[in-house]
Amino acid sequence: MTGIQYVTDEEGRKVAVQIDLREHAELWEEFEDVLVSQSRRNEEDIPLEEVEAKLIRRGKLSA
């Protein structure tokens, strides 16, 4: 696959990857979305109504 290069360790195991973002920006965006989602997996859920009320109080959302 063009635009993808693997970095290997002394034993030839793939340990990292370089992605040419000019060719594969959409691939990186999807990968990044997965990483963000996984990093937030254990965050506390906040009800939509609570978020909306906070945004209204801050003037970021109209009622």
The structure's pTM equals 0.52
pLDDT tens for the chain, 63 residues long, are 899 999 999 999 999 999 999 999 999 999 999 999 999 999 999 999 999 999 999 999 998
pLDDT of residue 20: 95
20 Cβ neighbours under 8 A, 6+ residues apart = 2, 3, 4
Q: How many whole angstroms separate alpha carbon 45 and alpha carbon 41?
A: 10
pLDDT of residue 63: 84
